[in-house]
Each structure stands twice: as C-alpha cells, then as structure tokens.
Amino acid sequence: QVGLSYQLIAGERRWRASQLAGLETVPVIVKETTPQQMLELALVENIQRADLNPLEEARAYAQLMEEFGLTQEAVAERVSKSRTAVANTVRLLNLNDETKAALASGTITEGHARALLSLKSDRDQLRALATIIEKSLTVRQTEALVKQMLSGDQPAKPKRPPLTPHDKAMLEKFESRLGTRVELSRAEEETGKLTIHFYSEEELQAIFNAILGNDAQL
C-alpha cells in the first residue's frame, strides 16, 4: 500500500485483461513487501510469461541467483519448475555469442542449443552450428553430430602408396652401403621421406663419411 492506493507488483497482464473485459472488481492478494521482495516477485512474474525465449528465461534465473542469493532449488520452487530444468536453462548462458544469437532468433531450438553445450570450444560449437543451419538438422541429428565430434571421428586419411620393387631394391642398397637401418615412405606427387637410423655417435660419423666421401672432412 502506498498512501491510500496500492502498488501492483505482479499480474499486470491479468489486470489489463480484466479492464478490457469491463470487470469492476477482481480478486487480489494484498501483502506487505520490502523493495527487494517487490523486485523478486516482479522478476518471477516476468519469468512465467509464455513469450520469453530460452535465453531471456536463463538470464532471469541467473539474476534471481546473483542479486537475491537464491539457490537453483529456491528458484525452481518460485517458478514451479524442477531444479534440473532451471539448471539446464541457466547453462545456455555458457554458449558462445553467435550460438546464443541463433537461439534468441529462433534459428535453432533450445534442444539444439543444449546439445551444443557438450562442445567446450567456441570453434567446435560454431562448426556444429553451421552444419545444423546448412543441413536443417533435427535435435536428434544434432546430438549424433556432437557425439561424433566428441569421439574424434574424422575422415580416414588416404593410405600411403606401397613401396615398389624398385623402392625395396634401393633400400637394400642403402642399408648395405650405410650399414644401418633405412626407411622409405612414399607420399603423393612423387614425394616422400627417407629415414636413416643410427645408434651411436660413431655410427653417425660412419654414415656421414659414407655419404659424403671425400667431402666428409669438417
């Protein structure tokens, strides 16, 4: 009560609807509150609106916890939801900005967004988000995509070309001349790698001398 009048804390939409309906009296609850309690009640009323998007709801829950020191259990009790539902909604604030924008605009659903929360890096979230939008993935398909990304499944790398008989003959010559193990691996476009193994400083020097011959003097 403020003077001879009363201040409306919650229920503004219902009050306006009753005016449009021409009602002269409506049932109300009159209670004394502190300024902090007024803010809390107004915020809870706002959360219970049907037109809030998931991010707006998440921010409101976070505000209740940060400004009024409420636990998730206390918030859940005030908004008549389970603690798990409140916790899952608040977690949406951990998404990167671009993913949050897609959720706020309705480009993706809350189900898509929750699946993306399993991807901890912004880079992975954005890659998955692009795939969701490009291919119009369902929530179930998004969950499968995230699972695949977390398992590290990648397209198989092309196998290296096998060594030819000529390659094997060269290896035998190398090993015979150098007196040590030599490996040859082929890549694409006639490139590859030749690896010469040594097992002591003396063996390294011997290989050096065998390759450079008269130019081996340092």
- Active site (catalytic) residues: 12
DSSP state of 194: E
Residue 57, classified by CB atoms within 10 Å of its CB into exposed (0-12), middle (13-18) or buried (19+), is buried
Coil, strand or helix: which one is 193? strand
CA gap 95, 125 in Å, rounded: 8
Helix axes 54-68, 72-79, angle to 10 degrees: 120
Task: Give helix then strand counts, H and E, for the chain.
Answer: 11, 2
CA gap 17, 24 in Å, rounded: 12
CA gap 160, 145 in Å, rounded: 29
What does each C-alpha distance from 187 to 56, 158, 163, 164, 175 come to in angstroms?
A: 54, 10, 10, 13, 21
Output phi, psi for 65, to 5 deg: -75, -40
Strands (E), the chain: 182-186, 192-196
